[in-house]
Amino acid sequence: MLQLVIPQQELWNEYTQEFVYTKPQVLQLEHSLVSISKWEAKWHKSFISSTVKSHEEEIDYVRCMTITQNVDPNVYNYLTRDNLNAVNKYIEAPMSATYVFEDGNQQKGTEKITSELIYYWMIAFGIPFDPCQKWHLNRLLMLIKVCSVKNRSPKKRMSHDKLQNRARLNAERKRRYNSKG
């Protein structure tokens, strides 16, 4: 969870021609599958992509991540660049010490990852929605990778007879073609 402090600010109100002072606000944020689902429902596109998000989309994702109750909607207008940098750093944090070695045959990034696809993976691997959908997203994705690796069938080992037969055939070919291998 990320705790974001939006500092007190002095603003100019053009209608009343007065200075307005905002109160500092503390927001509790969670980068989770629930947050992504809310954002994708509004913007109708995949959150997990290399496409750069607009400032409005960034701010709206902070709104979707907020788990603090009864937040004044105007507070999102006062987010600073430092606030947004902290949010991006939090989103990019691995939140796991696990590393999964990918198969050489798989091409990473060929499939668009959406919240529905992640929910599918959760169903396929029997991962319970509650509480996992509220985890940091990178932790959830790592659990899915671990389940994927652990559920792969082990590579079939050649039986002793097959190995002996292969060795015999190779020896015959070496003799027939007068080769060293």
Give 87's pLDDT tier (boundaries 50, 70, 90). very high
Residue 66 pLDDT: 97
Euclidean distance between CA atoms 34 and 130, whole angstroms? 11
* Structural domain includes residue 49: yes
Q: What is the pLDDT of residues 118-150, one digit of tens each?
A: 999 999 999 999 999 999 999 999 999 999 998
**Boundaries of domain holding 54:** 2-92
Residue 26 in domain: yes
SS (H, E, C) 101-112: CCCCCCCCCCCC
Task: Answer whether residue 177 is part of any domain.
Answer: no
How many structural domains comprise the chain?
1
154: left (phi over 0), alpha (psi -120 to 50) or beta: beta
59 assigned to some structural domain: yes
Residue 15 lies in a domain: yes
122 within domain boundaries: no
Q: Does 60 map to a domain?
A: yes
Q: Is residue 180 part of a domain?
A: no
Give the pLDDT confidence of 8-55 residue by residue, as tens digits: 888 888 899 999 888 899 999 999 999 999 999 999 999 999 899 999
